[in-house]
Amino acid sequence: MKLCNQLQPKTPLKYLPVFGLALISFFTAGCERQQAVALQAPPTVTVSRAIEHEVIEWDEYTGRIEAVEAVEVRARVSGYLESVHFRDGQVVQEGELLFVIDPRPYQVQLDRAEAEMELAKARLQLERNDYSRAQVLFEARAISEEEADTRASDLRVAKASVQSALAAVEAAALNLEFTRVTAPVSGRISRHFVSEGNLINGGSAQATLLTRIVSLDPIFCYFEADERSYLKYARLSREGKRPSSREAKNPVYLALADEEGFPHKGYMDFVDNRLDPNTGTMTGRAVLPNPDFLLTPGLFARIRVPGSGRYSALLLPDQAIGTDLSQKFVMVVGDQDLVEYRPVSLGPIIGGLRVVRSGLQPSDRVIIRGVQKARAGTKVNPQKGEIVFEADDFDSRPVS
């Protein structure tokens, strides 16, 4: 200001050279700007204390849905396919008839086996009678011991023949039963791969594939967790903050590609015993109820699993957080309304707000709007604001 006063022209302008007049006008304008800046009020910013809330961190993965039971239906006997008893793609129940193979050859085999069994029974009865007479004659010393032993041996052979004939009858009956192919599990069936009238092979590794069935309720979801996540879960379990999914049914929430939120609830039931050395991941499996059959094997899905125990966290909106190269920071207003630069360590977003792991105290007044106006060490005009926590049902869901 003193310099500006000294520059005020005291000599009549008509005696000043034109260049001097221009120079004085320039400095006069600059001094007026300095005075305006000096008189400018501190910038107005909105401040609020961070919200303190009990939260659980949820880790998200991409999973694939698979059936609990997936069965390839193959023929157990050979023959001509006589009929198909289902509609392609329908839901079938365990034991429901699917295919019929021409049963006539196997009925003939069963009749022959039953006849052989009757013959074996007749021979057994004859041998029993011969053996009884031989015993009486041997006691009367009418036959030799050798002949008595022969009669006993013939009786044992006849008994064995009956057992063999009975086994042949059971085998023939099984083959006849196998001509009726039924659903081994309940679920959705695929199309029929063989049409009526075709000759099919059965009872071997090369047996003809007739169709496939996948179960639908309940259903599995497999996912891969990276090595760091596995180590985090292991340490949380040892510290007693989160139970291991090998020992507890930790909750799992699933969403399909077109769904908002995570509407399907299940639980963990399996964690593999080793990490895949090729991918560095551990396979986990969740079980989910599927009464409406919406979850179909082969679909990809997003799933959430608890990534921490429940703990108290400080939460801020992302707009209050700045980035300085790789460092995250917030601006805090002190008692004298002076701005302080505060580096922070951040966590995930929960309820629409960012978790602040370190660098902030619950009593700190954080600038949540107008951060671009604030400079460390300068004074501001703080106005009280409010942070809204968008609570969802995940915040009340238990870890186990």
Report pLDDT digits (tens) over 68-96. 999 999 999 999 999 999 999 999 999 99
Distances in whole angstroms, Cα of residue 123 to Cα of each of 135, 160, 162, 218, 264:
18, 11, 9, 56, 68
Q: Where exactly are the structural domains of the chain?
A: 2-39, 44-54+311-396, 58-68+216-306, 73-214
Sorted by sequence, the CB contacts under 8 Å of residue 384 that are 6+ apart come out as 46, 47, 48
Helix (H) or strand (E) holding 281: strand 281-288
Angstrom distance (rounded) from CA 295 to CA 288: 9
Percent of the chain with pLDDT over 70: 88
**Stretch among 114-118, 210-214, 370-374 having the lowest mean pLDDT:** 370-374
- Identify the CATH number of the domain defined by range 44-54+311-396: 2.40.420.20
Q: What pLDDT, in 10s, does the model give residues 182-196? A: 999 999 999 999 999
Q: What pLDDT, in 10s, does the model give residues 289-342? A: 999 999 999 999 999 999 888 888 899 998 889 888 888 999 999 888 888 999
Percent of the chain with pLDDT over 90: 45
pLDDT of the residue at 390: 76
pLDDT over 60 at 30, yes or no: no
CB atoms within 10 A of CB 252: 26
CATH superfamily, domain at 58-68+216-306: Efflux pump adaptor protein, beta barrel domain (2.40.30.170)
Q: Does domain 73-214 have CATH number 3.40.50.880?
A: no
Contact 63, 286 (CB under 8 A): yes
Q: What DSSP letter does each residue of 65-111 carry, written as one string? A: EEES-EEEEE-SS-EEEEEE-S-TT-EE-TT-EEEEE--HHHHHHHH
pLDDT of the residue at 230: 92
Pick from 363, 125, 392: which is nearest to 253 by CA?
A: 392
pLDDT of the residue at 400: 43
pLDDT of the residue at 35: 52
**In the structure, what pLDDT confidence band is assigned to residue 233 with cuts at 50, 70 and 90?**
very high
Q: Which residue has the higher pLDDT, 78 or 139?
A: 78
Q: Which pTM does this prediction carry?
A: 0.71
Contact 286, 245 (CB under 8 A): no
pLDDT of the residue at 394: 52
Distances in whole angstroms, Cα of residue 292 to Cα of each of 95, 205, 400:
21, 36, 25
pLDDT over 80 at 45, yes or no: yes
What mean pLDDT is predicted for residues 224-251? 91
Residue 124 Rama label (left phi>0; alpha psi -120 to 50; beta): alpha
Q: What pLDDT, in 10s, does the model give residues 254-286? A: 999 988 889 999 999 999 999 999 999 999 999
Q: Is the peptide bond before 218 cis (omega within 30 degrees of 0)?
A: yes
pLDDT over 70 at 1, yes or no: no
How confident is the prediction for the chain on average, in pLDDT? Answer: 84
Q: What pLDDT, in 10s, does the model give residues 359-369? A: 889 888 998 88
Distances in whole angstroms, Cα of residue 75 to Cα of each of 83, 88, 136:
13, 18, 55
pLDDT over 90 at 100, yes or no: yes
